[in-house]
Every structure is written in C-alpha cells, then in structure tokens.
C-alpha cells in the first residue's frame, strides 16, 4: 500500500516556509511532507531524519527529482540537535514530526509490525538494532510485559495477556505475529473483540517499547524548540493519546505560566516573557473526506507552536 501523508497541506502550511529557510523533517518516511517542503525552497535547506534504510532509499529518488537542497540522516530524531550541529546548523526555521509507523512498514509482512500478516515478530524501525519484538515477547518477565502493555498500549487486560505469553513460551518460543495474536485472543473477554482488533494495543505497546518512541519524542521536541529561530514553528502530527500527552506537556511548559492567571486579572497591561505561543489553541483534525480516503488519518491530530522571542 502506498503511503499517504496525513494532513499534508495543513502541516506544511503551518510551517510558514520561507524560500531561503532551514527546515527539518524529523520523520522522513516516504517523503510526503519533505517533497512539499523542498518544492517551496529555492536557496534554503531541508534536513531529514529516519531510522529505516529502505524508506531513505525510496525518499532519495523522490527528493532528487526536486532539488539537491537536502540532507538525510539515518539517525533517531532524538539526535536531531547533535546531527545538525555537525553540519554547523544551530538554528532552524521549522521542524515537522509525523509520528508513528508508516503504511509501507505496516504493510510489509516481513517487518513484523502488523497483526494482519503472519511473520516473525520484529517491529524494528532501525533494522540494524539488536532489540526486536521477538526478544521482548520471549525474554522479558511477566511483570515487565504487563508494564509495557499497560504503559504503552493502555491495555486493561495487560496482566492476563502477559501471564499467558509467559506460560505459552515455556512450551516453545513465540515466533510469529499470528501466534501472538492467538495468545492475546485467549486472554481477553470475547466481547472486547467486537470493538476493535484484540491485538492492536499490545502490538502498539511492543512497537513503542522496541523503538523507544516516547522517550525519543520528548528529547527531540525539547531540542527542536531550543534551536528555533524567532518566527519558527514546530509542527507535530500525533496518532494516539500517549504521543498527545507528551506534546501537550511540552507545549504547555513553554507557553503557559502560573503567573498568567494573576497578570490577566490586573487592571494594567504587563508584558510577559514568554518565548513561545501556541499557533492554535486546539489541535486540528482531518476533515471527513480525508478520513474516508485514508483510514489511518482518523486518529490524527495536528499541533503547532511558534517561537515569538529569544
């Protein structure tokens, strides 16, 4: 399945791209957003990050058709600040994050991301790293698995699923995604299978843990805000509540201060020292047309923050 970038126009428009600006696509994927950013640059520069070497190869072909004003790092975006510094780039005009897993990763049955295909449990975005889903399922303790499923999947039957995984792997290793799906199905009430696929939360949890997604996001967002020029923006597309909570926490940290409530009640105008402002108070969501044509956009939310002073 071809990857369709969610909120493509809305996200790139929010960057307020300047032709000579410096921009970062922290989640290159198949270059949907990067192509649009690069098309808007004349003498500007685009820096991209992705852990997936296959995605990078495909994206280079697409970006080369536009211009050479880009550089791709095969790195985790948590290293964004350090990688840019090595290129003598210490300030940027915009950073874009399109979080989560891409359609090609989900639809490639050899990658072991999806419960729809029977393959070895993998789930690595960086195919060279040692830790994968197979190791997690077959080696972590019942308590560790319970914590992962609850923390990263918000799975209310985490304990039951973890218990049955540990019990089943005593007989033989749990090698494939379908084997894992069957264990999950046997661990939850049948009524829960009507609402959504019973393995969705557990697969999400394992993927997030294997790729250290939430910790990496928090580190990267903090660094991105620090290197923004005045007028520059960080734009983020989230797909589930765990990502949303990190974005809300960090954006709130930089835009809302306890003193505001007191200052707003005073009969005089006092200038505050905020360095950032929210571009919109509530996140933007895809319209019905996009949700119908691209099912993976249904949970998407678009957030943006702008630096207003040094």
Q: Do residue 88 and residue 169 come from a single domain?
A: no
Beta bridge partners of 233: 94, 306
Is 3 within the bounds of a domain?
no
Q: How far is CA 21 from CA 15, 133, 256, in A?
A: 10, 40, 28
Is 87 found in the same domain as 179?
Answer: no
CATH number for position 254: 3.40.50.150
Other CB atoms within 10 A of residue 289 CB: 8
Q: Is the pLDDT of residue 1 over 80?
A: no
The CA-atom distances, in angstroms, between 279 and each of 11, 15, 235, 244, 272 are 12, 10, 9, 16, 17
Residue 288 lies in a domain: yes
User: Are 303 and 221 members of one domain?
Assistant: yes
pLDDT band at 266 (very low <50, low <70, confident <90, very high): low
pLDDT in tens, 123-153: 999 989 999 999 999 999 999 999 999 999 9
What's the chain's length in residues? 310
Average pLDDT, the chain: 92
The residue range of the domain holding 42 is 8-98+215-307
Helical pair 241-255 and 213-226, crossing angle rounded to 10 deg: 30
In this structure, the answer to whether residues 187 and 131 fall within a common structural domain is: yes
Residue 204 lies in a domain: yes
Q: Are residues 222 and 94 located together in one domain of the fold?
A: yes
Judge if 111 and 127 occupy the same domain.
yes
249 in a domain, yes or no? yes
Does residue 141 form part of some domain?
yes
Over residues 246-260, the mean pLDDT reads: 83
2 in a domain, yes or no?
no
Tell me how many domains the chain contains.
2
pLDDT tens digit sequence for 89-120: 999 999 999 997 777 777 778 888 899 999 99
What residues pair up with 98 in beta bridges, in sequence order? 237
> How high is the pLDDT of residue 264?
55
224 and 81 belong to one structural domain: yes
- Res 196: pLDDT: 84
Position 280 in a domain: yes
What digits encode the pLDDT tens for the residues 192-220?
888 789 999 999 999 999 999 999 999 99
Q: 211, 226, 247 — which closes off a domain?
A: 211
Residue 1 forms part of a structural domain: no
Is residue 138 located within the same domain as residue 264? no
End position of a domain, from candidates 211, 226, 249: 211
Q: How far apart are CA 231 and CA 222, in angstroms?
A: 17
- Specify whether 220 is located in the same domain as 94: yes
The mean pLDDT value for 2-9 works out to 81
pLDDT digits (tens, 9 = 90+) for 163-173: 999 999 999 99
Could you give the 3-state DSSP secondary structure of residue 236?
strand
* Last-in-domain residue among 161, 176, 211: 211
Do residues 176 and 231 share a domain?
no
- pLDDT in the model for residue 100: 78
Do 50 and 120 sit in the same domain of this protein?
A: no
How many CA atoms lie within 13 Å of 93's alpha carbon, on the beta-carbon side?
16
Tokens 């949700």 locate to 291
The pair of structure tokens assigned to 32 is 């949907």
Whole-angstrom distance, CA of residue 290 vs CA of residue 34:
20
In CATH, what number is assigned to the domain containing residue 200?
1.10.150.170
Let me know whether 83 and 111 are in one domain: no
């Amino acid at each position: 399945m071809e990857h369709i970038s969610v909120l493509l126009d809305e996200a790139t428009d929010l960057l307020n791209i300047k032709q000579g600006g410096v921009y970062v696509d922290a989640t290159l994927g198949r270059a949907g957003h990067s192509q649009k950013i690069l098309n808007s640059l004349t003498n500007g520069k685009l820096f991209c990050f992705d852990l997936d070497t296959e995605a990078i190869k495909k994206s280079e072909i697409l970006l080369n058709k536009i211009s050479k004003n880009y550089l791709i790092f095969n790195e985790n975006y948590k290293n964004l600040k350090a990688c840019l510094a090595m290129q003598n780039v210490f300030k940027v005009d915009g950073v874009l994050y399109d979080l989560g897993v891409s359609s090609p990763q989900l639809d490639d049955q050899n990658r072991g991301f999806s419960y729809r295909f029977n393959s070895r449990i993998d789930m690595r975005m960086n195919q060279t790293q040692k830790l994968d889903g197979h190791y997690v399922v077959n080696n972590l303790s019942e308590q560790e698995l319970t914590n992962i499923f609850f923390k990263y999947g918000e799975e209310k039957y985490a304990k039951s699923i973890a218990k049955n995984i540990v019990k089943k792997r005593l007989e033989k290793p749990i090698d494939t995604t379908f084997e894992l799906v069957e264990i999950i199905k046997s661990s939850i009430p049948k009524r829960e299978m009507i609402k959504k696929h019973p393995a969705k939360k557990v697969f999400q949890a394992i993927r997030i843990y294997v790729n250290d997604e939430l910790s990496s996001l928090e580190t990267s967002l903090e660094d991105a805000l620090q290197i923004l020029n005045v007028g520059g923006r960080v734009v983020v597309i989230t797909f589930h509540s765990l990502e949303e909570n990190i974005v809300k926490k960090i954006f709130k940290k930089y835009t809302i201060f306890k003193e505001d409530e007191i200052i707003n009640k005073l009969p005089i105008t006092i200038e505050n020292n905020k360095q950032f402002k929210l571009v919109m108070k509530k996140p933007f969501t895809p319209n019905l047309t996009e949700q119908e044509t691209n099912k993976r956009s249904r949970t998407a939310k678009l957030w943006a923050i702008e630096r207003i002073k040094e």
